[in-house]
Amino acid sequence: MIKFHPSDEMIHQFAAGSLNPALSVVISTHVDMCPHCQKQVLDAEQLMAEQLTKAPKPRLNSHALDAMLEQIMTSQAPAPKASNDDYSNVLNLDGKLFNLPPTLARQQNRIGHWSRVPGKMLRAPIDIGSDECINLIYMDKGSRVPEHTHKGQEVTLVVNGVFNDERDEYTDGDFILMDSSQHHTPETQDEDCLTLAALDAPLHFTSGISRLLNPFSSLFFR
């Protein structure tokens, strides 16, 4: 059962299309997995539609109306949407198979090279056509990220598996938002975990000898 969700404000911004691309991909993937948030998005879209229909309609003179009609008639038809045959919903990582939610499955051809990250982890960037950073993170059994905070904002979605920190345990579909006011130490125990992570700044390690890693923090999820 999914315990952690985007805030109501984030859901409304997602439905309105006003979030940055990285956060939109993460929330869209969560919505794929979460019936509760699917309903929240539908409710937000319905509310916006009702507000739009109640808004005063602009009055158009005949010249403006003619120009609008001409633009509609001469505009190109939208490109066809990808069918289910255009991508695979299965991610094969060294023989381990993961079923991807539709949003992630559509990004399969944008997933970059998998590289090793300190702490028994693998990382693969996803090119979403912007300067923002979004990664698939695979945490093997017994993985651990040293205690850290964030210079910016970190959003993590559990795609498959389990990890925990000092606060709670996170499973499939859980959406976790962290900022510079919070410290945590993500780790896995007897089960591995595939997550989707979006950061707008590198990690900042805060505990013991791990602070020596700060000059190299971009080797982690940035």
Whichever domain contains 152, its CATH number is: 2.60.120.10
Q: Cα(137)–Cα(119) distance, rounded to whole angstroms?
A: 11
Inside any domain, residue 104: yes
202-214 pLDDT, tens digit each: 655 555 444 333 3
Domain CATH code at residue 40: 1.10.10.1320
Q: Tell me which of 58-67, 132-141, 163-172, 177-186 is least confident.
A: 58-67
Both 138 and 213 in a single domain? yes
Q: Where a domain ends, among 71, 99, 115?
A: 71
Inside any domain, residue 130: yes
Both 117 and 187 in a single domain? yes
Both 57 and 115 in a single domain? no
118 band by pLDDT with thresholds 50, 70 and 90 = confident
**Measured CA distances, 89 to 79, 105, 106, 114, 213 (Å):** 22, 5, 8, 18, 36
* Residue 22 structural domain: 8-71
> How far does the chain reach from its first CA to its final CA, in angstroms?
29
Query: Rounded to two decimals, what is the model's pTM?
Result: 0.77
Both 12 and 121 in a single domain? no
For residue 198, the surrounding DSSP H or E stretch is strand 193-199
Inside any domain, residue 83: no
> Quick one: residue 29, left, alpha or beta (phi over 0 = left, psi -120 to 50 = alpha)?
alpha
Domain count, the chain: 2
32 band by pLDDT with thresholds 50, 70 and 90 = very high
User: Do 200 and 133 meet the contact criterion of CB atoms below 8 Å apart?
Assistant: yes
Q: Cα(204)–Cα(136) distance, rounded to whole angstroms?
A: 20
